[in-house]
Amino acid sequence: MKIGELAALVGVSTRTVRHYHHLGLLPEPERLPNGYREYRLRDAVLLARVRRLAELGLALDEIRDVLADDQGKELREVLLELDADLAGQQEAIRLRRERLAALLAEADLHPDSAVSPAMASVLRGLPSGGSKFADFDREMLALVDTTADPGEREAFAELLRPLTTPEALARGEAIYARIDELAEAAPDDPRVAELAADIADHLPEEMKAMMLASVDGHPDTFNENGRWLSEMSLTLSPAQAEVFHVLMTMLKERS
């Protein structure tokens, strides 16, 4: 048989046969005087064996190891590992489908709805709508959730949980409105210091400690380089940015 006939018999492409030769999965047969390879039935058996193992999901280097073991011990070990991997993939798919079902059940889907379940629960309890800064704050929380290590996401969300109580929610809505009012104000507006003090009283103690750690340059969930405050200053108006500079000064003094 020529290479095209072998490939057609087993149901692969001639390119695949040549690739298997290159990887050492399929020995190259002797060439005829005219330069063509002459394949035998044994080559078709070996090629079919490679195809079956590949269809099971084995990597080509694993197939090479399996075919090198005449007793089949390597095959059993590899198949057990493959089965464990597939079980893990099934569980991951199940969890993803549960998450998708929860998202599809939401009445108002938004691109930031696809945060972790813990953060999604927190965002549902925070003020939303009608405030530009509230929208910005939610975007920042979604960013933190996305960039945090998976093991840290739930812990970070729990730091925000005290802000979702009815009393905290009312205070938060008022704070957001006051920040919005500073959009066109000057940095030395007398409302800046008063608002910073009220935010300091509003935030949970653990959240304030994390904010202090971030500006001191220690690794944390906000920003591993501690630059979150300066980055916010580039986005907010001068007076709004000044609120957070004053806030950080107050937190340092209180600590």
Same domain, 160 and 50: no
CATH number at residue 28: 1.10.1660.10
Same domain, 16 and 117: no
Same domain, 121 and 183: yes
Same domain, 55 and 164: no
Tell me, yes or no, whether 79 lies in a domain. no
Same domain, 156 and 222: yes
Look at residue 231 in the predicted model and tell me its pLDDT. Answer: 72
Same domain, 118 and 219: yes
* SS3 of the chain: CCHHHHHHHHCCCHHHHHHHHHHCCCCCCCECCCCCECCCHHHHHHHHHHHHHHHHCCCHHHHHHHHCCCCCHHHHHHHHHHHHHHHHHHHHHHHHHHHHHHHHCCCCCCHHHHCCHHHHHHHHHCCCCCCHHHHHHHHHHHHHHHHCCHHHHHHHHHHHHHHHCHHHHHHHHHHHHHHHHCCCCCCCCCHHHHHHHHHHHHCCHHHHHHHHHHHCCCCCCCCCCCCHHHHHHHHCCHHHHHHHHHHHHHHHHHC
Same domain, 61 and 144: no
Same domain, 118 and 36: no
Give the CA count within 13 Å in the CB-facing half-sphere of 207.
16
Same domain, 132 and 196: yes
Look at residue 132 in the predicted model and tell me its pLDDT. Answer: 92
Look at residue 51 in the predicted model and tell me its pLDDT. Answer: 93
Domain that holds residue 17: 3-70
Same domain, 48 and 129: no
Q: Enter the pTM of the model.
A: 0.61
Same domain, 7 and 117: no
Look at residue 71 in the predicted model and tell me its pLDDT. Answer: 59
Look at residue 111 in the predicted model and tell me its pLDDT. Answer: 67
Tell me, yes or no, whether 87 lies in a domain. no
At which of 70, 92, 124 does a domain end?
A: 70
Look at residue 113 in the predicted model and tell me its pLDDT. Answer: 74
Residue of 144, 141, 170 whose CA lies nearest to 223: 144
Tell me, yes or no, whether 97 lies in a domain. no
Look at residue 112 in the predicted model and tell me its pLDDT. Answer: 66
Look at residue 223 in the predicted model and tell me its pLDDT. Answer: 43
Tell me, yes or no, whether 105 lies in a domain. no
Look at residue 221 in the predicted model and tell me its pLDDT. Answer: 39
Q: Mean pLDDT of successive 10-residue segments in the chain (255 residues)?
A: 92 94 90 87 91 90 82 76 89 88 77 80 82 90 86 89 93 95 95 96 90 60 51 86 92 87
Tell me, yes or no, whether 33 lies in a domain. yes
Look at residue 175 in the predicted model and tell me its pLDDT. Answer: 96
Tell me, yes or no, whether 146 lies in a domain. yes
Tell me, yes or no, whether 90 lies in a domain. no
Same domain, 245 and 127: yes
Look at residue 127 in the predicted model and tell me its pLDDT. Answer: 80
* SS3 of 182-245: CCCCCCCCCHHHHHHHHHHHHCCHHHHHHHHHHHCCCCCCCCCCCCHHHHHHHHCCHHHHHHHH
Look at residue 217 in the predicted model and tell me its pLDDT. Answer: 47
Number of domains in the chain: 2
Tell me, yes or no, whether 77 lies in a domain. no
Look at residue 243 in the predicted model and tell me its pLDDT. Answer: 94
Q: Give residue 137's Cα distance to chain centre.
A: 20
Residue of 175, 204, 203 whose CA lies nearest to 191: 175
